[in-house]
Amino acid sequence: MNALERLRQWTTVVADTGDFNAMRSYAPRDATTNPSLIVKALQKPDYRSLVDETVAAHRDESVEQLCDRLLVRFGCEILSIVPGRVSTEVDARLSFDTEGTIAKAHALVALYEAAGIARDRVLIKVASTWEGIRAAERLENEGIRCNLTLLFSFPQAVACADAGVTLVSPFVGRIYDWYRQRSETDIPPEEDPGVRSVRRIYTYFKKFGYETEVMGASFRSIGQVLALAGCDLLTISPELLEQLRSSDQPVERRLDPALAKAQQVERERFDEKQFRFAVNEDAMASDKLSEGIRLFVADVRKLETIVSQVREAR
């Protein structure tokens, strides 16, 4: 077996791409996408027809509505390839708006259901702000599953699990980037703060019996990926998937629920005040969360520009 096949013995592999051909090549169970990945995919001529067709069919709708339709169109195409679920992201401009996030989630799920996609095949992707977590809690109670993204700290993870969300996506690579920039030296996987963050979250969830799944995200190397072998899910870019598929190196299981349950871990709780203070106290988490929201918003605006230009040209 190659390294990718060995990894799949213990971990569900998710494709971190909007490229349908890459998904077919690597056969992930799930896929995660967002405006950033769609904007990247739309640079390829093969995907521009999706924008043209969406705008042509709904030309009287607003740019915001057309973008929602395009996100869902990509999602439906993805679900024709993968057997599992697709994550679809709520507009990052709603990261501090609980009611707005819920309304957007309802709109996206309604579009999927109109296309014949059951809601259990969709994960609504929401930023791990206090407001986003509260929105996800209410959505989960309605049977709408959520993927909490832009997660950089343990308090965020605990609050998500206590809210009963389906899945959390700790960002390994972006945590690594923050510390790497300040140390100016490479950090080996065993010492990598991003890897350690996911291991801590995984151990805590398994120790206390949370059903919330842990999906490591935002990887910079296959070393980081393999250091988390055994994690519930890992969402991996096509470039790293190819490196794993081309490698015959051994893969050792690093995360195991039985071992996690045997760990000595204290139970923690965070109300709103404690949550905000804890995230603020963590310079890396507060920096990367605010930066991540800004970057996501920038890509939403890029997608809106593309859709607007197509609509004006018709």
Q: How far apart are CA 114 and CA 104, in angstroms?
A: 15
Q: How far apart are CA 47 and CA 3, in angstroms?
A: 31
| Cβ-count burial 169-185 (b if 16+ within 10 Å, e if not) | bbbbbbbbbbebeeeee
User: What is the length of the chain?
Assistant: 314
127 C-beta neighbours (distance < 10 Å), count: 25
- Residue 12, both tokens: 């569900």
Reference 226, options 198, 204, 257, 260; nearest CA is 198
Q: Is 125 a catalytic site residue?
A: yes
What's the number of CA atoms in the CB half-sphere (13 Å) around residue 177? 13
Question: Which residue in the list 40, 44, 104, 125 is annotated as catalytic?
Answer: 125
Helix (H, G, I), strand (E, B) or coil at 292: helix
Residue 36's alpha-carbon distances to 109, 146, 221, 288, 308, in angstroms, are 20, 19, 20, 16, 17
Q: How far apart are CA 133 and CA 34, in angstroms?
A: 18
Residues carrying an active site annotation? 125
